[in-house]
Amino acid sequence: MLEDLKRQVYEANMQLPRLGLVNFTWGNVSGIDRGKGLFVIKPSGVPYEKLKPSDLVVVDLNGKVIEGDLRPSSDTPTHAVLYRHFLKVGGITHTHSPWAVSYAAAGRGIPVLNTTHADTFYGEVPVTRNLTANEIQGDYEKNTGKVIIDTFKKQHLSPAAMKAVLVNQHGPFTWGKNASESVYNAKVLEVIAEMNYHTLLLNPAIKPVSPQLLNKHYLRKHGKNAYYGQKNRLGKK
Ligand SMILES: O=C(CO)[C@@H](O)[C@H](O)COP(=O)(O)O
């Protein structure tokens, strides 16, 4: 079942160690087949060097295992919450990439201090509140998804424009139209987190880019009249 999606999600998971976003068994990537209401996710605790496409687990939007011999990622309930609420998301990545985790551990969002950030994320990457003791002792992974949804609702953020969040004291979740794009966004997040740290060391008083610069860079790549790359060339596919 869902063999093509398993292959895509497997390849996306294997990008995590290649891009330096995880060590050991940390992190996970999933991808969803919206038509079937099923998503595919990495199995829990399997070293990437031993992972095979056939190891990936198929689950429904409640996190129930539909196919697979291995236990799905421990973060499966979090992915399920995000798929249920962010209806245009096709793939989700969670990592423990060090610069993004540093911001999450410090309880700080990542402000837009340069155009590299603006090219991918339409504003400050938010950090969630901490989970309460009850939320931690309850369905922890589901509640991790809940605080992400709460953060986007409270800050009136668009999941399509802000494809990342920092879970307080834990780490980043990113998403995109598919598993591969969610990994791309995870790498961009890690790169800008490191850039921002050094920018703030060089100039602690630095302010975020202007709304004009944010709009220009974000919309020239993602707007309906995007002209970055080969998009929208007259008469060209
Ligand atoms: O956040 C955590 C652990 O803190 C998890 O994301 C692990 O980093 C990966 O767990 P599995 O996907 O292997 O269950």
Whether 234 has a pLDDT exceeding 80, the answer reads no
**Which atom of ligand 1 has the smallest separation from the CA of 96?**
8
Is 75 catalytic? The answer is: no
Tell me the average pLDDT across 156-183. Answer: 98
- Cα separation, 196 vs 210, in Å, equals 16
Q: Interface pTM (ipTM) of the complex?
A: 0.95
Is 119 catalytic? The answer is: yes
The residue annotated as part of the active site, out of 4, 150, 227, 228, is 228
- Cα separation, 204 vs 53, in Å, equals 46
Give the pLDDT score at 235.
62
- Residues in contact with 176: Cβ distance below 8 Å, sequence separation at least 6, in sequence order: 89, 90, 91, 163, 182, 184, 185
Give the pLDDT score at 73.
98
pLDDT tens profile 106-147: 999 999 999 999 999 999 999 999 999 999 999 999 999 999
Whether 232 has a pLDDT exceeding 90, the answer reads no
Question: 44 C-alpha to center of ligand 1: Å?
Answer: 7
Question: 200 C-alpha to center of ligand 1: Å?
Answer: 30
Give the pLDDT score at 45.
98
What percent of the chain shows pLDDT beyond 70?
A: 99
pLDDT category at 236 given cuts 50, 70, 90 is low
Tell me the average pLDDT across 195-204. Answer: 98
Domains of the chain: 3-221 (3.40.225.10)
Dihedral sign for Cα atoms in the order 102, 107, 111, 115: positive
Give the pLDDT score at 113.
98
Using alpha carbons, select from 192, 188, 103, 84 the residue that is nearest to residue 142. Answer: 84
* Ligand 1 neighbour 74 (Cβ under 6 A): yes
Q: What letter would DSSP give residue 32? A: E
pLDDT category at 19 given cuts 50, 70, 90 is very high
- Cα separation, 163 vs 222, in Å, equals 12
* pTM of the predicted model as reported, rounded to 2 decimal places: 0.96
Query: Taking all residues of the chain, what is their mean pLDDT, rounded to a whole number?
Result: 96
pLDDT tens profile 39-80: 999 999 999 999 999 999 999 999 999 999 999 999 999 999
Classify residue 108 as exposed, middle or buried by CB count within 10 Å of its CB (0-12, 13-18, 19+): middle
Question: 96 C-alpha to center of ligand 1: Å?
Answer: 9
Whether 237 has a pLDDT exceeding 60, the answer reads no
- Cα separation, 220 vs 223, in Å, equals 6
Give the pLDDT score at 233.
80
Give the pLDDT score at 18.
98
